Structure formats: C-alpha cells, structure tokens
Amino acid sequence: MISTLLLTLVLADFPPLEIDTHPPLTEEELFLDIEEEIKREVFPHPFSDEAIIAEQENRKELLAFVQEVSAFSYDASITYIDPKIQEIFDCYIEPGTTVLDFGAKRGASTLACASLAGKVIAIEKNREQFRQLFWNVAHHKIKNTQLYCSYFEGGLDSLELDKVSLILIDGNGQEDIILRGLRKIIHKWKPTLLITIAGGLPFEYADRYVRQEYQMRLDKIKELGYSTQLITSGKYLAIPNE
C-alpha cells in the first residue's frame, strides 16, 4: 500500500507522455529534412552575398545558378594549401596589392591570398567549380574578393586594376591564351607569376610532342622578362628579371 502511494507521488512529478502519432519519415523525406537543416546552418538567408560576383555578362543567370546548390555537394573545408605554395604567397603578395587567380577552382588559393592581399580577382570558367568557389568565399566571409566566370581572353585592362603583385594561372592548358590577355598588366606591374603548365602534367611523363609544347610555353614566359623555377609537378614560379 505504501509502495503504491510512493509510486503515485513520484509519477505525479512527471508530465504525461506524448505519443507521436505521425507516420515515420521515408528515407527520401529524412534526407531532404537533413539537407534543409544543413543549408540553414551553412548558407546565408536571405541571399546576401551577391556582391561577390562581379559585373559580367550573364551575371543574373550566375546569381540564380549559384543558389541551386545541394548541402551534401558543398564542402567548406577546401582550404589546404601546399606549404611550398603558401610560402610563395607569404613572400610575394605585397599588402594592399591585387592578386589575380586564374583557374581558382573551389577557392583554396583564393582564400589563402585574400588574407594577405588588398584585393583578389578570382576567375573560374567551370560553372560547377565556380559555384563551389562562390560558397566557399561567402562561407568564410571574405569581403575583398571579386569572382568572374570568364578568362578575359581579350585582356583585363578595362578593370583599371591597382598594383598587381601576384598572378596565379591554372588554366587547364590554356595558360598561353591567358598570358596573351595579361601582357599590358605584366608590362606595367611586373608581378610574380605562379603558373601550372600543360594542365599540371609532369614533364618527365610527357611524350616528345608534349615536351616540345612545354618548352615553348616556358620560353614564352622567359620572353616576357622572367626567370622560371620548378616548384611542384607542372607548377612554375616566374620572377621578373628586373
């Protein structure tokens, strides 16, 4: 009798149990529910970072495109930089100057340069990678970067750039085209260049024809008044001779 009374008093301190009568979520509903929760955490809302995308052709279309993103396909941890490359950034990026990052991909180099430069102009032609680049810049709250989805094959002179101290070029084999559009900037500022040749294909593994092309591209860089030095596989540091 006493035990029953004590049990009744103890249970009285607890609220009645609520039984969930809703059917369990399907696997697809659960996936979507988790994704929406991640999006709320990762992506700003309302959309407030559109100024990161610079004025360019089809800018409205790009703004719409970058918002069509899956939280599960987005990775905010793409920030690793080879220590050799980081050392180059630390050495050759002058405070307050501009860095051009051609072939920025998902933004590791862009983020690293943004912490040292006055301004970074990052160019990524691949739209899927451009979207990742955008969200990485937005997620890390980088405010001194402008993004373009074009290689400016006609040149960058119309942007009226301040002093350029470093140019990164990883153009998937189009570095010669990119360099042609940079001749005036290179002549004016003599920036340090970090160039990936032939898409990063190691010279020692290339056939005879690729090696000839490799050498021709290195010779063109030297004709601009630079000395080149191999840093990592397929990636060269070019320093102005003056």
User: Quick check: is 8 in a domain?
Assistant: no
What does the pLDDT read at residue 7? 46
Q: For residue 54, is it within any domain?
A: no
Q: What local confidence, expressed as pLDDT, does residue 158 receive?
A: 67
Task: Report the pLDDT value the prediction gives residue 166, as an integer from 0 to 100.
Answer: 98
CA pair distance 47, 106, nearest whole angstrom: 20
Nearest to 111 by CA among 140, 82, 84, 74: 140
Query: The CATH number of the domain where 181 resides is what?
Result: 3.40.50.150
Residue 160 forms part of a structural domain: yes
195: β partners:
169, 236
Task: Specify the pLDDT at position 118.
Answer: 97
Range of the domain at 148: 83-240
- Give the pLDDT score at 46: 42
Q: How many domains does the chain have?
A: 1
> Residue 117 domain-assigned?
yes
Domain assignment present for 236: yes
pLDDT at position 110 is 97
pTM reported for the whole predicted model? 0.80
DSSP 8-state assignment for residue 67: H
Residue 39, domain member (yes or no): no
Cα–chain center distance at 199: 17
Per-residue pLDDT at 74: 64
Residue found under tokens 């103890």 = 10
Whose tokens are 């249970």? That residue is: 11
Residue 5 is predicted with a pLDDT of 47
Q: Does a cis peptide bond (omega within 30 degrees of 0) precede residue 202?
A: no
163 lies in some domain: yes
Q: Quote the tokens at residue 100.
A: 């051009």
pLDDT tens-digit profile, the chain (242 residues): 545 544 454 445 555 555 556 666 565 555 455 555 555 555 554 456 788 999 888 899 999 999 887 665 566 667 789 999 999 999 999 999 999 999 999 999 999 999 999 999 999 999 999 999 999 999 889 999 999 998 665 557 667 788 999 999 998 888 888 898 888 899 999 999 999 988 777 777 778 887 888 888 999 999 999 999 999 888 999 999 97
Q: What is the pLDDT of residue 77?
A: 63
Q: Helix, strand, coil: what percent of the chain each, to 5?
A: 45, 15, 40
In a domain, 33, yes or no: no
